[in-house]
Amino acid sequence: MTSSFPASTVLGYPRIGPDRELKRALEAYWEGRSDRAALEEVARRLREDTWRRLAELGLGGSPSNTFSYYDHVLDTAVLLGAVPERYRHDDDLTAYFAMARGAEGLPPLRMTKWFDTNYHYIVPEIGPETVFSLDAAKPLSEVREARALGLETRPVLVGPVTFLLLSQAAAGSPDGFAPLDRLDDVVEVYGRLLGALAAEGVGWVQLDEPALVADRTPAELAAVEAAYGRLGGLAERPALLVAAYFGDLGEALPVLARTPVEAVALDLVRGTPGDVGLLAGKTVVAGVVSGRDVWRTDRDRALATLRAVRERVGRVAVATSCSLLHVPYDVERETGLDPALRGRLAFAEQKVAEVVGLAHLLVERPGADVPRLSAPQARPSTSGARVTETRAPEGGRAPYAVRAAAQAERLKLPLLPVTTIGSFPQTEELRRARAALAAGEIGEAAYEDMVRAEIEHVIAVQERLGLDVLVHGEPERNDMVQYFAEHLDGFAVTRHGWVQSYGSRCTRPPILHGDVRRPEPMTVRWARYAQSLTSRPVKGMLTGPVTIVAWSFVRDDLPLRDVVLQVADAVREEVRDLEEAGIGVIQVDEPALRELLPLRRAGQAAYLEWAVAAYRWATSGAGDHTQIHTHLCYSDADQILAAIDALDADVTSVESARSRGRVLAVMASGVAGGDGRGFGRGLGPGVYDIHSPRVPGADEVERLLEEALRVVPADRLWVNPDCGLKTRSHEQVEAALANVAEAAARLRERH
């Protein structure tokens, strides 16, 4: 039955297009500027280009079904017929995009981060009543499409266990129900799919099970064994590759070893071979080329790993550690990068070439045409001294009560002070001006005039609306991480290095490649200008060290902790300079604090400890009379409340639209501190969701604040939106903030 597994492969490939062709096609379709046929044609061409390119590069086995119009987890839900009733529609694409993005009067499904990456997936809803049915159209058509080009492919699917573990229980499910309870029914559908693929003549199928690299209960592991035992036992099926990436399989490895699957893909960049000997008799698809970073592979190390694994299991194929979805397409296009740096980098195309080259070296075919691989690269050495320095005494600030008194004296804020999270709308004009500046069409001075004009406007609006702590609006920032990367030594930024974040949204993560230093102040000029326009306090606005690192590609020759501490050093210097410039309130955002949390519990406490230490180092140089704010979002903040508390910021604003009640209750109750003191400092639970264009009424905001006042003392409650306002229009923002200020004013009268 089984054909042998190809010598080289990748677990997945970017799909947005080298020039973000899919993004443009999607947005044109959503806005009604193009039709379905046009969208499908762009998608078809992207798939064709990818398969042809992988074949040209000499890759042994190419994946299919890695394309997606929005998200591969959502695709899996569709494949299984798990489309919630309220989204059903005669047109399948309409239903699909309604789940992904919402529709008139219909909010989308929840979206959250894919493991510890910055990619977001759509969370399927599964209930006891969900009726599963097979819709194999997409994987089958991709197989046929590639075949028409003369190429055989390996369909890739999210595996049944990971699919259910990532799903959430549908509303109305009885207590104690978990989507994994439906495993038998789901496996039955996967079984039928495998039958259909076998009938189509498909030789191998890849089932992705990254959920297996996190801690799993014995019951979950038993479910894995049952599911793959059953799928493996089917008479009519392709050979099965189970791919577990982003870490070590650990205790799930012997479980998979006992199942009849033919191959297992291991992440040997983040994980180790472990008990790989147990997989003897299967093919080990050895992920030695990282899909998570942009560094060239150390050839000798990778080869040594491959040989060691081969010795223990016999059959080895060379692969990437995970899908290449998380890296940009092609470093050759980055002609603006320092050639020395460029020589150390590998994006998706280069990584494919590395996989192919390693596969050739592994078989040591004499005279074979071996693609050139780089020798191991020398990396700049650690400046140990600086790093140790940053471990200097923690804190340095007086206890909160002392600080609060000094700040009250200086800032003279009213009860329930109103503020915002930092950014104001980024106008099309500003974006165009930034592009023109980059293209050399306008000069620095003209651009800066625009930035100043925008600051003047934003300050005037906030004064008019009666806000208490103002912001300059961040008009000079393209992005809250890239802006800092452009101003710090040790970072490079790319021109075409787009990586999909969700749907049509992409980011260009900066590349942190050397020791981080701040050659000069980064934000002081703008903060000082804003402060010169008003007598109210202006809040300086910085991105925290963990977030800057989380949203960059980071050098791998230093422990992450040391890199974060270097960035914390730079932020600390900036805090001091802002303070010296007379800025009395400084916000240091850490929205990505939760994202870097290790997938296994064993590493979590240590991570949180150094992450918190880095934040405190970044902020503790501030005097007691300077008020430090922090802001967190995107994350399930309630999972890391103790760490948020330990940041020791004077004021913390949290995105809480989705779990408002819970976050508030826990933060106010004392659980967060774990010592009965509770979250005893300023707290700003967002009073409205900025991700929606809806303008909240003053009554609604007043009600929310009253609710908050039941658990947070009035002298500690802050009033602010959920997150930055940059994606909204000036009109929406002014209307919303007017109502927010009005609600605060009404409440002040009564307290």
| Sign of torsion over alpha carbons 362, 339, 336, 513 | positive
Instruction: Output b/e per residue, 419-437; b: 16+ Cβ within 10 A.
Output: bbbbbbbbbeebeebbeeb
The answer to whether the annotation marks 633 as part of a ligand binding site is: yes
Q: Which of 26, 480, 570, 597 binds ligand GLN (CB under 6 A)?
A: 480
Looking at 136-144, 415-423, 456-464, 596-604, which segment touches ligand GLN (CB under 6 A)? 415-423
Distance CA(419)–CA(538), nearest Å, equals 10
Among the listed residues 326, 472, 487, 691, the single catalytic one is 691
State the angle between helix axes of 444-465 and 730-750 in degrees (0 to 180), rounded to the nearest 10: 30
Is 20 one of the annotated binding-site residues? yes
Q: Taking the alpha carbons of 724, 727, 728, 730 in that order, is the dihedral positive or negative?
A: positive
8 A C-beta contact, residue 319 and residue 8: yes
Which residue type sits at 181? D
Q: Which of residues 5-44 bind ligand GLN (CB under 6 A)?
A: none
Which of Zn ion, ligand GLN, none has residue 248 at its interface (CB below 5 to 8 Å by kind)?
none
Q: Is 551 annotated as a binding residue?
A: yes
- Name which of Zn ion, ligand GLN, none residue 74 binds, using a CB cut-off of 5 to 8 Å depending on partner kind: none
Rounded to 5, what percent of the chain is helix, strand, coil? 45, 15, 40
| Distance of alpha carbon 416 from alpha carbon 603, whole angstroms | 39
589 is in an annotated binding site: yes
By the rule CB under 5 A, 480 interacts with Zn ion: no
State the binding partner of 345 from ligand GLN, Zn ion, none, CB within 5 to 8 A by kind.
none
**Between residue 626 and residue 645, which ones bind Zn ion under the rule CB under 5 A?**
633
DSSP notation for 398-410: --HHHHHHHHHHH
Q: Is 723 in the site for Zn ion (CB under 5 A)?
A: yes
Give the Å distances, CA to CA, from 525 to 247, 443, 455, 532: 43, 18, 12, 11
Q: Cα dist. 494→77, 330, 349, 498 in Å?
A: 35, 11, 16, 8
Please report whether residue 589 would count as binding ligand GLN according to CB under 6 A: yes
Strand 239-244 versus strand 263-267 pairing type: parallel
**Is 631 known as a binding-site position?**
yes
Q: Is 505 annotated as a binding residue?
A: yes
Residue 213, H or E segment: none
Q: Smallest distance from the beta carbon of 633 to ligand GLN, in angstroms?
A: 5
Cα–Cα distance between 253 and 242 in angstroms, integer?
A: 11
Binding window for Zn ion (CB under 5 A); candidates: 206-214, 379-387, 640-648, 721-729: 721-729
Contacts to ligand GLN from residues 711-730, by CB under 6 A: 723-724, 726
Using CB under 6 A, which of the segments 92-100, 291-299, 334-342, 417-425 binds ligand GLN? Answer: 417-425
DSSP for 490-552, please give it.
EEE--SS--EEEETTEEE---EEEEEEE-SS-SSHHHHHHHHHT-SSPBEEEEE-HHHHHHTS
Select 574 or 589, whichever has its Cβ closest to ligand GLN. 589
Q: Does 690 bind ligand GLN (CB under 6 A)?
A: no
Of 122 and 480, CB closest to ligand GLN: 480
Distance CA 39, CA 449 (A): 40
571 binds ligand GLN (CB under 6 A): no
C-beta of residue 586 within 8 angstroms of C-beta of residue 579: yes
- Amino acid identity at 411: L
Write out the binding residues for ligand GLN, residues 624-663 only, by CB under 6 A: 631, 633
Question: Cα(268)–Cα(275) distance, rounded to whole angstroms?
Answer: 12
Q: Which does 53 bind (CB under 5 to 8 A by kind): ligand GLN, Zn ion, none?
A: none
In degrees and rounded to multiples of 5, residue 127 shows phi and psi of: -125, 175
- Cα–Cα distance for residue pair 621/573, rounded to 1 Å: 8
Binding mask 527-566 for ligand GLN (x = CB under 6 A): --------------x-------------------------
Out of 591, 682, 684, 685, point to the residue binding ligand GLN (CB under 6 A). Answer: 591
Please choose which of Zn ion, ligand GLN, none residue 423 contacts, taking the beta carbon within 5 to 8 angstroms, the exact cut-off set by kind: ligand GLN
Asked whether residue 655 is marked as a ligand-binding residue, the answer is yes
CB of 728 to Zn ion, least distance (A): 13
For residue 691, indicate whether it is catalytic. Answer: yes
Question: Which tokens go with 343?
Answer: 């020589």
630 binds, among Zn ion, ligand GLN, none (CB under 5 to 8 A by kind): none
422 binds, among Zn ion, ligand GLN, none (CB under 5 to 8 A by kind): ligand GLN
Residues with catalytic function: 691
- Interaction site with Zn ion (CB under 5 A): 633, 723
- Interaction site with ligand GLN (CB under 6 A): 421-423, 480, 541, 589, 591, 631, 633, 723-724, 726
| Annotated binding-site ranges for 5-methyltetrahydropteroyltri-L-glutamate | 20-23, 113, 505-506, 551, 595
| Annotated binding-site ranges | 20-23, 113, 421-423, 474, 505-506, 551, 589, 595, 631, 633, 655, 723
